[in-house]
Amino acid sequence: MRSTAGPCEVETHVGDLVVPSSLQPALDGIDVVCHLAGLTHARDSWSRPADFFAVNTAGMANLLAAMTERGVTSLVFASTGSIYGSPESQPMSEDIPDEIPHPYAASKRAAELAVEWSARASEIRASILRLFNVAGGRDPDRTRIIPRVLRAAAGDAPHVEINGDGSATRDLLHIRDAAAAFVAAVDHLPPAGSSRRFNIGSGVESSIADVVATAARVTGRHIPVIHRPASREPARLVADSTRAETELGWKPTHSGLEEIIADAWAAERAR
């Protein structure tokens, strides 16, 4: 299928990770694969682990096989910082041990292993990007904190519920910075027959209370909050992305909390 956008003609190839026969034709004329497809909702993975492994892990194996058949040797894979679990060592570097907290993270780690071993056995050159909490645009996952806060700001929900006092911090990464990381990874792939893993996060800690306060300021709306009992969740999760900055020349430039919320609010209002 071909489509035209302004002066640029874009050719679109359609394949399905769980339909191996569809992947080789989709790779015709492709030099580099940026693999971002998959199931991502960690909470759903508890009740549907087989689905997550079928798509995220077996789907990766299908893609790697198709790449080998078509002679495509360059890959950038979107993985997840959730693989680290909630270590005491913060910020989290690539050198700390994995502590897989749920089936979603397990399925992504298994996909990483498929990439790593395939690279060793072939000419594949691969970068694995462990993304942290991507935000800043229209988020289809309405269970995440920023969409929930903005729904309350818009009056589409009566309030936002927070577990505990809102002091838990997370590393929020603007989607523009996430996209820029893929461009940088394509431009700085490792040598053939090898893979390299990179943390992609802002390195900035934002508390849940900060998110609510910033959203109220950006939107000019009162956001009612109900505090629920504290849950068993990490008090602090933040990435150390020094390796990506050093080796890929990538650095987040849009991941200030106010810009993230402002862009998410604009996307929300444009729905």
Q: Is 84 a catalytic residue?
A: no
3-state secondary structure of 125: strand
Cβ contacts of 183 within 8 Å, gap of 6 or more: none
Per-residue pLDDT averaged across 131-146, rounded? 91
3-state secondary structure of 110: helix
pLDDT greater at residue 13 or residue 49: 49
Q: Which of 53, 77, 84, 104 is catalytic?
A: 104
Residue 251 has pLDDT above 80, yes or no: yes
3-state class percentages of the chain: helix first, strand second, coil last, to nearest 5: 40, 20, 35
Q: With 0-12 CB in 10 A as exposed, 13-18 as middle and 19+ as buried, what is 78?
A: buried
The pLDDT tens digits of the residues spanning 77-130 come to: 999 999 999 999 999 999 999 999 999 999 999 999 999 999 999 999 999 999
The pLDDT tens digits of the residues spanning 218-231 come to: 999 999 999 999 88
- Give, for 9, the enclosing helix (H) or strand (E): strand 8-11
Beta strands in 72-187 (DSSP E): 74-80, 125-131, 133-135, 160-163, 169-174
Per-residue pLDDT averaged across 8-13, rounded? 70
Q: Find where tokens 């150390």 sit.
A: 240
- Domains of the chain are 16-269 (3.40.50.720)
